[in-house]
A and B are shown apart, each in its own frame.
Chain A
Amino acid sequence: MEFLGNILTGFQITFQPINLFYCFIGVFLGTMIGVLPGIGPSATISILLPVTFKIPPVPSIILLAGIYYGAMYGGSTTSILVNVPGEAASVVTCLDGYQMARQGRAGQALGIAAFGSFIAGTFSVIGLMFLSYPLSKFALAFGPPEYFALILLGITILSYLAQKSMWKALMMAVFGFLLSFVGIDMITGKARFAFGISELMDGVGILPIAMGLFGVAEVLENLNLSEGRAIFKTKLRGLLPNRQDWKNSWKSISRGSFVGFILGIIPGGGAVLASFVSYAIEKRCSKHPEKFGHGAIEGVAGPESANNSAFGGGLVPLFGLGIPPSVVSALLFAALMMHGIQPGPFLIPEHPDVFWGLVASMYLGNIMLLIINIPLIGLWVQVLKVPQMVLLPLILLFCIVGTYAINNSFFDVGIMMFFGVLGYLMKKFEYEAAPLILAFVLGPIMEQSLRQSLKLSGGSFLIFLTRPVSAILLILAGLVLVSYFFFKRKREVLDKGEKKV
């Protein structure tokens, strides 16, 4: 009964006009930037975060979350119509979605993507509701050693799942930790790595870093692209998938929802991996795998469901444990902190309005998205026609003003540009930015829990192994590391084999 009461309260909160308004703005903006290639949800959330300082915490979290799951919806439109992914999580949608468009079935592809996203979004909200609450009760018993071990495990899994090399991902995580140490030490009050610069005393902000790595770096990279986007000219008739389409794709949607949710919980899993895994599963489960890549509707329905569902999954550890598993949830973590709310197991009992309000807003947001996306698809096709070369300067301007607005100082803009250049080079040298951001956000908690644990144990590292939960977490982290080296050999052999073929 407690549950029902909570969710009803959530809906009461969401139905307040201000929250409805911000929910709509969020999903609308999200769809827009999802449609536009070149700017992703991480950059948009960072740009809009300073704006949310002035509104209360509940609508700002609703707004920021809306941007993300809205972008997951919008990303599919670009993939299907232009064969260019609007978001990294829509890369696989290009494979079959664009083929469907070429066969005159663009409407059905867009429709199944929207409905699949809706179903998966709803599924993941229900999962979130049922999982985070018990998880947070369990995590109340966590002490500093458990938290330290949990963060180590999280970072290890995140690096393990890195697309390029685990080694490099770990390096980026370590660099993220180091960056988080800049500023005044919370325990002793001593300034670290600030070099007497007053702006650095409070530490480097997450927003200039995120806008630099995800906004400016993207602009710098795309500056040399030649204009070559051709929207597939087709009349969009029949946006509603027919009975056969539904028959073909309902299983894919269910599988995608489930897989996406589970992968969303895992650090570094997230929407991108979820969509790829879902595509692979659909191809394997299909009775006619040869149709994949030639316009199989399952290849659109599965991944598009999975990337939406991953968002709800990603919120489980954020609200249950206070540990964000992905870049976007790390940004939500930062947003909560900036509003004076400490994410962690105490969040749901202390700020039920934030959690239940967000959950209820995601139900409504998914319905809004269905309305925004299906009848208004023509509008998004128009948005797509804005050339990239006009967009890039605008994105840069948004980043500059957004960063400036945090402290009304140009110092942060300088930091952002620094990370923009760094991010550009990191892309070229194949270092990933996600571990850096996550480690940066988790750095303070990790340091505090390590120092407290060592104080508790009188300087002995054995404390991490004598407490059962932290011991299990650390053993898991060790297994992940070992399995990397074990499978690395195999992977290399396989790679060489494939190249020869």
Chain B
Amino acid sequence: MRRLGSEVLGSLFWMGVGIFFALGGLKLNIGTLRNPGPGFLPLIMALILVFFSLSTFVNGLIRLETPVKGIFWSRQALMIASVFLYGLLLDWIGFLLSTFILMFFLFGLSIRGKSRWPKVFLYSLATALAAWVVFSWALRIPFPLPRLRTIWM
């Protein structure tokens, strides 16, 4: 069996997006040509997207194409997960500490080599402190107050 190529996979995704918006547009009021409603243009655009992806799909099936190469996931997935974990931590332990943990993790992920950990520790400490000074102190971005502190106090 031939593996599905990038055109086919990509077009299937966009077709799904198009169908999703088309159904949403239908539920909204489409209105009339004289007085187009809020669903009018979304429906048209969604149908155009479906049409485009359909033609890309057919095109991809007809032509022999190579499967997509070079999509890596392991590090990327860890990085994405760490950002969401950071969102949770931010609420509980505050900006400074959670940023340190995030940076420690990220530097650990990106910097390579055997004796990297002292370096990773130093970099993440420096980044967390600098980020706190710049964002929280100088730019006054209101980060959430750590919940743990309020529980303790």
Q: Interface of A with B (CB < 8 Å)? A: 51, 167-168, 170-171, 174-175, 177-178, 181, 185, 187-188, 190, 192-193, 219-220, 223-224, 227, 389-390, 392-394, 396-397, 400-401, 404-405, 408, 410, 413-414, 417, 420-421, 424-425, 428-431, 446-447, 450-451, 454-455, 458-460
Type the 1/0 row for B56-87, where 1 means its CB is closer than 8 Å to any CB of A: 10000000000010111001100110011011
With A167-B56, A223-B79 given, is the CB distance from A193 to B24 under 8 Å?
Answer: yes
Does B52 sit within 8 A of A, measured CB to CB? Answer: yes
Q: Bound complex: CA of A223 vs CA of B77, how far in Å?
A: 11
Does B93 sit within 8 A of A, measured CB to CB? Answer: no
Q: Bound complex: CA of A220 vs CA of B81, how far in Å?
A: 12
Q: Bound complex: CA of A471 vs CA of B72, how far in Å?
A: 48
- Chain B residues 22-49 with CB under 8 Å of chain A are 24, 28-29, 32-42, 45-46, 48-49
Contact B107 A390 (CB under 8 A): yes
Nearest-CB distance from B56 to chain A (Å)? Answer: 6
Does B142 sit within 8 A of A, measured CB to CB? Answer: yes
Nearest-CB distance from B108 to chain A (Å)? Answer: 9
Contact A389 B52 (CB under 8 A): no
Nearest-CB distance from B15 to chain A (Å)? Answer: 10
Q: Bound complex: CA of A14 vs CA of B117, how far in Å?
A: 48
Q: Bound complex: CA of A390 vs CA of B126, how far in Å?
A: 12
What size tier do the contact residues of chain B reach?
A: 35 or more
User: Main secondary structure on chain B at its contact with chain A?
Assistant: helix
Q: Bound complex: CA of A259 vs CA of B5, how far in Å?
A: 38
With A393-B103, A397-B131, A417-B80 given, is the CB distance from A188 to B6 under 8 Å?
Answer: no
Contact B42 A417 (CB under 8 A): no
Nearest-CB distance from A165 to chain B (Å)? Answer: 9
Contact A167 B52 (CB under 8 A): yes
Give A424's nearest chain B residue, CB to CB.
B76
Contact B141 A425 (CB under 8 A): no
Contacts of A171 in B (CB 8 A): 14, 49, 52-53, 56
Contacts of A188 in B (CB 8 A): 29, 37-38
Does B3 sit within 8 A of A, measured CB to CB? Answer: no
Does B9 sit within 8 A of A, measured CB to CB? Answer: yes
Residue among B14, B127, B141 making CB contact with A397, cutoff 8 Å: B127
Contact A193 B21 (CB under 8 A): yes
